[in-house]
Structure 1
Amino acid sequence: MQRFTVVIASLSVAFGVPVTAMAKSCSPIWVPTWASSQMLPTGENVLPKGTLGGATLRQIVRTSSAGQRLRIRLSNVASSDPLRISGVTVAEAESPTSSAIKPQSLKPVLFDGRRDVIIPAGAEYLSDPVPLAPSALQSLTVSIHYAEEPSAPTSHPGSRATSYVLPGDHLADPAMPGAKTFAHWFSLASLEAETCAPAATVVALGDSITDGRGATTDGNDRWTDGLASRLQASPKLRHLAVLNQGIGGNRLLNDGLGPNALARLDRDVMAQPGVRYLIVLEGINDIGTLTREAPVSDAAHEQLVSRMIGAYRQIVLRARARGIKVIGATILPFVGNEYYHPDARNEADRQAVNRWIRQPGNFDGVVDFDRVIRDPARPDRMHAAYDSGDGLHPSPAGYRAMSDAISLELFK
């Protein structure tokens, strides 16, 4: 023991670190390493009745930060009935493109010491800690065995990741050959990693451009994925996790596909442990839907811009009150999109909103996605090199340009 103390003391002198600092153990905290916004699926996102009851659903997610242990948050927020789960397992995925797991990594997930759990209507439920140490940027599988068919399954429709479902209990199966597949997540709100302080969370609140429409299925090439990779490449910033809370079709002011941004701010942002930074990329669907069915008056255009700015102010005020730094992202150009068919008046609305976002003091920082993605020759349109093909959603190259445009100084 005396010799060990001498060695530690010698090292502390050599590296300028006090003995007490090196000997002190860390204070572990829980920070989400992955999350998705929860909602009631509609339309083509609804699974055929009977798909989940008695079946095993294996879902693949990608972590954004590392930890010593993890725990899982299951969600039943969209249902008015309890959700009955027979069992859950977690494992390292062989790859993000198949249902295969690394069998030696398979761990059961317990809830209050039990394998089964009943989640009350409208609630979420945290698991017990699982002795699996997630690495950063790692693909993990979460397999859920449903005791019965959910009456209204809570979902995140735009997963951009393949999920696998097979009748029966397949929680421990090395793979799931013959499983049906779809690109949605169900009942899975977040994975939290236990880590030593300091650790913090960056939340991206947005619509389909944050959710990743136009990204590669199973490719993990949304702009938030690129940001997570850049943070992990920086020794001073790899303590930051990145959560993608985008919903396709989401709006600032009105419900669309999922609740509006103000309505979901508390659950999707404020309730996430360790939130230090919030990036807001919302509004293009508000501008587009205003005139999609028919033209409106100049007064209606002016009111929309005013109300959008009011919503941004509300987000900033509420987040700042929690000590969160709020970063505004400018709205991307979308002239040429056939769904919204925007005209010069819609473009004027977008420019007015972007001017307010860029104005110093309105946000705590700005990411000018518009400047990066627009065509310099036609600034009301997306550059062809970054267009997924619809004039609205970026391609993987566009998402990479967006993530590269975010100054890491914002997080220092």
Structure 2
Amino acid sequence: MATATVAVAATAAVYTNTTADPGPANTWNTAWAVPMQQPSIGFEPNWSLDGFADQTVRQVIRVTGGGTAARITLSNQFGPGDLRIADATIGRTEDGARVQPDTLRPLRFGGTSSATIAPGQQVTSDSAELRLAPFESATVTLYLADKTGPATFHAQGYASTYRATGDRVADTGGAAFTETTHSWYYLSDLEMTGGTGGTIVAFGDSITDGFGSDNDANNRYPDALAGRLAAAGTPRTVLNAGIGGNMIRSDSPWFGESGLHRFDRDVLAKRGVRTVVVFGGLNDIGFSEVDLPTYKPNPQVTVEQLIEGHRDLIARAHRAGLTVVGATLLPMKGAEYYNDTSAAKIRALNAWIRTSGEYDAVADFHAAVVDPADPEKLNPAFDSGDHKHPNAAGYAAMAAAFDLKTL
């Protein structure tokens, strides 16, 4: 069967795709997205380094903005060679690896069932009729017939991804999918038609990504924010652009390209975005205080350098017409990279975020989760156990820190 081959600039602020039908003008909005990372060992076992061969990968994603038709974007951003997608389907999730049978749809790429994606590139599928309401889940299934080599992925999905041997894209049952991880592979975006737009992107590190939340429970802070907006009668799509371990200024083989390097791809390129929440700097500060292989690179970063980084992101967002909300860093007394130096930097950066007036609005996460008895410490009721990442209750408290009118 014919294969669609694409060559799309992976670092441009606005992506185009010659093989995907564009749909009616101005109707596509990003309903779900996740940043891509280079293959790595990660935080728990995953399949990124080995890749796939004659295997089917089934991924479940929950949208916070619905619609009447869907298309996906697949990324080979960090692939060592051409990536061939042999076949793909999408449907509404039943539960686990099962798909609601009457909703399963084939995905096409320029009218064909397969696509080849060059290294550093991406492809967007054609439109498929699929109705999803906000907070419903879609199941995307990819058959990877050829050996892929190491796989572009997102390490910390906090959602179950399933794998089966052979071609199982047409299966609506889950029996063949006997292997699982909690990462996402190749799948970077799901766009829907008929949504409301006005999307919010939560941009940050592991605390945005959801470390300390519960697998398959969708209780990260961006999830809680989307739920709060819907409950208030002002529903908005909220995209999670967090990467565990991510830094504002430094690229990392484990923890992704720096915030400065990935901002255009992970925020500005998403359709329908109107607001971005910038929450970052804790790892730039903390990594420099620990000499462990995991926390490399770990250069000393000054508060002034972090402010420069925040200003760069603010300026880029404003040029794109976005509202930019700054979020204060959380307390972390008791964490492995807490000391007097890191604590002083956190206080100074938070003071600038709160008082400089350079952000359009501020979400004071620090105040929302701090221990009332100790301003350097995470409230024990909100501590996931490592003294720097909140639990689900802490993420709900962070979502409650927003003045919704500023969004």
Whether the TM-score (by the shorter chain) exceeds 0.5 is yes
State whether structure 2 residue 53 is matched by structure 1 residue 53.
yes
Match of 1:216 among 195, 207, 214: 214
Q: Provide the rounded CA distance (Å) in 2 between the counterparts of 1:48 and 1:258.
A: 14
Match of 1:372 among 368, 371, 385: 368
Across the aligned residues of Structure 1 and Structure 2, the Cα RMSD in angstroms comes to 1.7
Query: Displacement, 1:49?
Result: 6.5
Work out which of the two has the higher radius of gyration on C-alpha atoms and give 1 or 2: 1
Q: How does 1:271-350 map to 2 (within 5 A)?
A: 271-293=269-291, 304-337=302-335, 339-340=336-337, 342-350=338-346
Q: How does 1:86-101 map to 2 (within 5 A)?
A: 86-95=86-95, 98-101=96-99
Question: TM-score, normalization: structure 2?
Answer: 0.88
Residue 181 of structure 2 aligns with an amino acid whose one-letter code is F
SS in 1 for 2:123: strand
User: Percentage identity across aligned positions?
Assistant: 36
Query: Displacement, 1:405?
Result: 1.6
Match of 1:82 in 2: 82
Q: How does 1:119-130 map to 2 (within 5 A)?
A: 119-130=117-128
Per-residue deviation, residues 1-20 of structure 1 (Å, max 9, x unmatched): xxxxxxxxxxxxxxxxxxxx
Query: Displacement, 1:55?
Result: 0.6
Residue 115 of structure 1 aligns with an amino acid whose one-letter code is S
Match of 1:166 among 164, 185, 189: 164
Query: Displacement, 1:176?
Result: 2.6
Match of 2:20 in 1: none
CA, structure 1 residues 50+391, in 2 after alignment: closer, same or farther (shift >3 Å)? closer
Query: Displacement, 1:119?
Result: 1.2
Per-residue deviation, residues 29-80 of structure 1 (Å, max 9, x unmatched): 1110000000112124552766521110000100011112111011111114
Per-residue deviation, residues 118-159 of structure 1 (Å, max 9, x unmatched): 112211111101100111001111000012121231100100
- Runs (4+) of structure 1 exceeding 4 A deviation are 48-51
SS in 2 for 1:385: helix
Residue 146 of structure 1 aligns with an amino acid whose one-letter code is L
Per-residue deviation, residues 164-215 of structure 1 (Å, max 9, x unmatched): 001111112122325111111001001001126x522111110000000000
Per-residue deviation, residues 254-280 of structure 1 (Å, max 9, x unmatched): 112100100001100111112210101
Where in structure 2 are there 5+ consecutive unaligned residues?
A: 1-23, 293-298
SS in 1 for 2:142: strand
Q: Provide the rounded CA distance (Å) in 1 between the counterparts of 2:392 and 2:359.
A: 27
Match of 1:202 in 2: 200
Contact 2:51 2:149 in 1 (8 A): no
State whether structure 2 residue 177 is matched by structure 1 residue 183.
no
Contact 1:65 1:232 in 2 (8 A): no
Match of 1:140 among 138, 141, 155: 138
Per-residue deviation, residues 206-232 of structure 1 (Å, max 9, x unmatched): 000000000000000000001111222
SS in 1 for 2:344: helix
- Which deviates more from structure 2 when the two are superposed, residues 348-357 or residues 131-140? 131-140
Q: Provide the rounded CA distance (Å) in 2 between the counterparts of 1:114 and 1:135.
A: 28
Q: Provide the rounded CA distance (Å) in 2 between the counterparts of 1:241 and 1:32.
A: 8
CA, structure 1 residues 135+252, in 2 after alignment: closer, same or farther (shift >3 Å)? same
Q: Provide the rounded CA distance (Å) in 1 between the counterparts of 2:150 and 2:269.
A: 23
Match of 2:8 in 1: none
Q: Provide the rounded CA distance (Å) in 2 between the counterparts of 1:50 and 1:391.
A: 33
CA, structure 1 residues 309+48, in 2 after alignment: closer, same or farther (shift >3 Å)? closer
Query: Displacement, 1:28?
Result: 5.1
SS in 2 for 1:94: strand
Q: Provide the rounded CA distance (Å) in 2 between the counterparts of 1:272 and 1:124.
A: 14
Match of 2:248 among 227, 252, 262: 252
Residue 382 of structure 1 aligns with an amino acid whose one-letter code is L
SS in 2 for 1:292: coil
- Which deviates more from structure 2 when the two are superposed, residues 375-384 or residues 86-95? 86-95
Q: How does 1:216-235 map to 2 (within 5 A)?
A: 216-235=214-233
Match of 1:9 in 2: none
Equivalences, count: 373
Q: Provide the rounded CA distance (Å) in 2 between the counterparts of 1:139 and 1:90.
A: 11
Match of 2:349 in 1: 353
Q: Provide the rounded CA distance (Å) in 1 between the counterparts of 2:257 and 2:214.
A: 25
- Which deviates more from structure 2 when the two are superposed, residues 387-396 or residues 172-181? 172-181
SS in 2 for 1:217: coil
CA, structure 1 residues 68+211, in 2 after alignment: closer, same or farther (shift >3 Å)? same
Per-residue deviation, residues 72-107 of structure 1 (Å, max 9, x unmatched): 011111114111011111111113xx1111111111
SS in 2 for 1:133: strand
Q: Provide the rounded CA distance (Å) in 2 between the counterparts of 1:28 and 1:354.
A: 38
Match of 2:101 among 103, 125, 142: 103
State whether structure 2 residue 189 is matched by structure 1 residue 193.
no
Match of 1:390 among 365, 386, 389: 386
Where in structure 1 are there 5+ consecutive unaligned residues?
A: 1-25, 295-299
Q: Provide the rounded CA distance (Å) in 2 between the counterparts of 1:254 and 1:185.
A: 23
Q: Provide the rounded CA distance (Å) in 1 between the counterparts of 2:119 and 2:386.
A: 39
State whether structure 2 residue 402 is matched by structure 1 residue 406.
yes
